[in-house]
Structure 1
Amino acid sequence: MIIRQKSNVSDYVLYCILYMTTALSNKFVLSSLGFQYPTIFQAWQTFVSLVLVQMFSGNPLKHITLSEIIPWSPAMLFYVTSIFSGSKALAALPVPVFLLSHGVSDACLMLCDNHLPSGLTHLSIPLKISGLLLSLWSVMREATLLDIVWVVVYSISLGAYKSVGFWYTSPQWPYSGLTLAQRQYLNNLFGFLFLLPTAILLGHHQDVHRDFPHLRKVNFYIGCFVSAVMGWAVKRKWAVISGGFFNARIEMVQLLAKVTTLIASMHIYPLNHTILLWISIFIGLSGDVLHIIGSLYEETEVPQHDMNDVLVGQ
């Protein structure tokens, strides 16, 4: 179980670095190397997370029963859907577009729940959605219809996961017996047990051996290792700095991490920065800023949604 502790500037800086490294290393494996097998990639990510949790924290599932796991099962399904579709979306679309999709997942949460402040926070919903739609329009020539479908599925499934996470931790929900660490562990365990057999049944392991040109190159294995370890580290650091709660301060740190990643991605993965893309980025980030300002008016802490909005394992 992760205990809430007072965080300082160095914790926030480290979180931003981990966030950026995770997103860019995922992009490297999925796009630069063209590893188009999300079942295998995400099975690897979830497996590494399970191993690292066992090494550093022990087994978090001791003394829990099946009746405690069942109420969390819808969230596990949405989690697996989000990491699979997120891999497909990140592989095909630029990092700025992928980051804007996280804002839409927040909008889905706000549309499903009434726990968030009114006013400016609600005004952020159309801005977040418009930012993603405009960014997709700006890359329409390079993207296929299927790529757009994947990013929409990713946004909705991640938003659904966040919504279930909020309902589960709300005082009105009578079956919320699992800790944050236990829920995250169950997500990874279910992801690994579902994705690995799926990869084998679909013959993806054979496809990789036959068609993937970088299988015997060391940069592929380094990228996979860094991406999996950083994915685990960023979720752990997120849990430490947030402590199971979500407020305006945490939202500001998350926005800083997004902006840092967005700027770095434009230098590492150059793309045609059209005026429309810049407008979409400005609108999407403006929605995030309005969300933060609205939260500042209501500083009472509410349970966080227990998943960092980056492709970790996202």
Structure 2
Amino acid sequence: MDGTCHLNQTDLQSYIRDVFGTGYVVANVSRMHGGAQKVVYKIDCSNGFSCVLYVWDLAMSYFQEETARKNPSEQSYGGDLFEINNRYLTQKGIRTPSLYDLNKERIRYTFDYALVEYIEGQKAEDYFRNADSRVQDQVFQRLGEMLAAMHADKRQTFGKPDHSDASTAACQQIQMEDAKEQLSYASRHMESISTNHDKLLDTMHELESKLTPRTEYGFIHGELGPDHVLVNDRLEPCLIDIEGAMFFDIEHEHSFMTFRFGEFYRYLKNDSLDEDRMRFYRFLHHISLTSGGLKLLHRGFPDQTFAIGLAEYHSKCALQFL
């Protein structure tokens, strides 16, 4: 690995040539913002073609400890999951960057990596500030239609699209057990959470007790904020960071989108949602994001102001449930 990319220059050029042909010569490699779990590079070729290199190097993830402990059925990390969900979404007509090649050999490198379509455009969050309301309408209405179609894709069991085994547990129990761990972490590092730990735990159980059994689940992205939607020059939305996509309660997705999209959630709203599940999952999101912000803060995330702001904001939201 050199200073600019996980793959050294020779290996990267060979990879590009093997996938696209001898006419593709790497001219520039630049690191893009890839979030907290994977590393993303833009590859520009001398013939004008550009693509993206995804690298799933667990050593570079800010949540490697959690990823290593998770059951495979609960994972939201790795090239395998990207490949599975990319194929599934593409088959269903849900726009996501095309996967050109996925290398899982782990011979020369210890991590999986892939070449993916580069989409010229902006993230959906940039359209929050667009001065043209007609453009905003077009972008978020299209996104709403895309999500409605995705969430309407139903199955009687929850989980990854390549796993259809019936589970004896209710899907919310998985989220609840994780939230308990996040609450424990946050209570060790934030006084307001520590002081109210037992009340917050009681609230979690109270909200969960109101949920009625369910045997039908929709396909969700899993962490759908406006930073996980790219909009191309034709104002078409495209889902990115899809490793966590799965069949689950769609309220899990909608409760997250209510505060991530703010006033623009009106374009995405679904009138058939279970309000008890919405409240339950929203509370769990606030607990998880409080812990997540603290973990980013403690693990050297570059934007420390963002990390502490995330933890403080969501801790206040969680405490409001009391």
* Same fold, TM-score > 0.5, yes or no: no
Between structures 1 and 2, the one with greater helix share:
1
Structure 1 length normalisation: TM-score? 0.28
- Higher Cα radius of gyration: 2
Between structures 1 and 2, the one with greater strand share:
2
Structure 2 length normalisation: TM-score? 0.27
